[in-house]
Amino acid sequence: MSKESLHDVYVDTLKDLYSAERQIIAALPKLAEAAESDELRAGFEKHLDETHLQVQRLEQIIEGLGKSPRGKKCKGMEGLIEEGKHILEEMTTPSAGRDAALIAAAQRVEHYEIATYGSARTFADQLGEKAAAKLLQQTLEEEAAANEKLTSIAENGVNREAAAGDEGRVRGEGGHIGRMRGEGAREGMRVHRTGTRSAARGNRQPPRSR
């Protein structure tokens, strides 16, 4: 479809957001279910409620322009959500590490939304759509707050737990290696002592014959 005016770009951006939000509504319950952290799970569930309201705002804005919100597939969001699916497929055991990966995936989604809602809000302002601009700004602030909440959960809990788990695993592996080295050293000393005794016996002079 040819975009010949700012109004066309504005409508297309709104439809892109509508499709993105619908995909997020389908994905968030799975992320919430997979979260190990109670705080992260609650954050996903809270944002799901917000997303339903955001979809209603988009419907109000788009229908107010005499358009249907449906009819477009947001490929960008489709790709981002697919990344989240891969995390769940590859990291099947609940852990702080998986939560950290889920937060990273969710923040990529938030950044996409923040950028796109910011553009839509600016278009609305320039087109004189003041009521729509106000609604879009409200959603933009919610997305920014959701992103900040994810950062807080990551920095104050999930990432620390994941790092602690990595450190413990490294220490465990280090201890195992240390034990192997110790056992190797002891075995080396045993061989050395045995070899020394054998060499000493071999160096003895045979008794003289009378």
Domain ranges of the chain: 6-156
Closest by CA position to 132, among listed 5, 9, 10: 10
Question: Global pTM?
Answer: 0.76
pLDDT tens-digit series, residues 123-182: 999 999 999 999 999 999 999 999 999 999 999 989 888 888 665 454 555 544 444 444
Cβ pair 94, 31 in contact under 8 A: no
Cβ pair 20, 110 in contact under 8 A: no
Q: Domain 6-156 is classified in which CATH homologous superfamily?
A: Ferritin, core subunit, four-helix bundle (1.20.1260.10)
Give the 3-state DSSP-derived string for 124-138, with helices as H, strands as E and coil as C: HHHCCCHHHHHHHHH
Is the pLDDT reported for residue 209 higher than 80?
Answer: no
Percent of the chain at pLDDT above 90? Answer: 70
pLDDT confidence band for 20 (50 / 70 / 90): very high
Q: What are phi and psi of 134, to 5 degrees?
A: -65, -40
pLDDT tens-digit series, residues 94-132: 889 999 999 999 999 999 999 999 999 999 999 999 999
pLDDT tens-digit series, residues 58-76: 999 999 999 999 989 999 9
> What is the 8-class DSSP label of residue 68?
-
- Angle at which helices 96-126 and 75-90 cross, to 10°: 170
